[in-house]
């Protein structure tokens, strides 16, 4: 199994757990947990993990850092850090909330965080999947079109040969003793079958391109949500320091 496939399985599992943990709001609420000692630990570790994805973004977009860092740490490794930190951090943050969604800041922070995770998941896995599917189907479509051209040529030859043989009964009787007479109907059936396959592949490619276009917007959405997330996270940390931590 490829490393990226393993990553996809792990991240998908954590992603599902994250969504289920958030839905625990309907079953469980602990108003004092966020300000407790262990609750603060979850919050601090979650906040640190939420900041780690910035490393990949900064290194990728600043040439000076990219030149200095990538010889020692590959962009693929930074992307892996980006993915894991970006999914585990929100999970710890949800646990930190204790499902206490009372202030507008906490509600907004949680909502934006979950949307950022969902958009990131779409970009990393669904968009990649659709792109690879388009490439594979285009290869199949090219092959199918070649088969269709060949089958069309066979059908035309069969029609021509059948027409010639039918005009010469003596020749037809002689050939019948050596080999079967080519049937244009069989070739036409093959052409129809391949043409249906080509049409199905063309339709599938068009649909995948529509999905790719829609998912393509998720990258821009992910960037905007991430910026908004860090603004809300900074306000949340400031509010926690400003009003004090109960466990202190």
Sign, Cα dihedral of 75, 226, 12, 135: negative
- The stretch 54-61 carries a mean pLDDT of 89
Return the pLDDT at 181: 46
- pTM, to two decimals: 0.71
- The stretch 209-228 carries a mean pLDDT of 84
In whole angstroms, give the CA distance from residue 196 to residue 32.
63
In whole angstroms, give the CA distance from residue 42 to residue 62.
31
Task: Tell me which range, 8-22, 188-202, 234-248, is most confidently predicted by mean pLDDT.
Answer: 8-22
b/e string for 121-131 if b means 16 or more Cβ within 10 A?
bbbbbebebbb
pLDDT digits (tens, 9 = 90+) for 102-111: 788 888 999 9
Return the pLDDT at 184: 52
Q: pLDDT tier at 156 (50, 70, 90 boundaries)?
A: low
Q: pLDDT tier at 2 (50, 70, 90 boundaries)?
A: low
């Amino acid at each position: 199994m490829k490393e990226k496939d393993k990553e996809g399985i792990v991240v998908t599992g954590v992603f599902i757990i994250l969504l289920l943990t958030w839905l625990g709001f309907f079953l469980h609420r602990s108003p004092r947990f966020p300000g407790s000692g262990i609750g603060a630990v979850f919050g601090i570790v979650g906040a640190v993990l939420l900041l780690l994805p910035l490393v990949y973004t900064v290194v990728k977009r600043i040439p000076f850092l990219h030149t200095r860092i990538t010889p020692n740490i590959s962009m693929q490794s930074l992307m892996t850090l980006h993915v894991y930190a970006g999914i585990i951090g929100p999970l710890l943050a949800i646990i930190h909330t204790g499902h206490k969604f009372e202030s507008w800041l906490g509600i907004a922070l949680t909502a934006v965080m979950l949307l950022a995770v969902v958009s990131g998941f779409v970009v990393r896995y669904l968009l990649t999947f659709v792109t690879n599917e388009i490439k594979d189907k285009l290869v199949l479509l090219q092959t199918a079109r070649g088969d269709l051209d060949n089958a069309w040529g066979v059908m035309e030859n069969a029609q021509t040969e059948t027409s010639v043989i039918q005009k010469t009964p003596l020749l037809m009787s002689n050939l019948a003793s050596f080999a079967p007479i080519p049937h244009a109907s069989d070739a036409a059936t093959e052409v129809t079958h391949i043409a249906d396959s080509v049409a199905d592949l063309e339709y599938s490619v068009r649909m995948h391109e529509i999905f790719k276009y829609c998912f393509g917007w998720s990258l821009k959405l992910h960037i905007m949500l991430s910026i908004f997330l860090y603004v809300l996270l900074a306000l949340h940390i400031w509010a926690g320091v400003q009003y004090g931590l109960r466990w202190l």
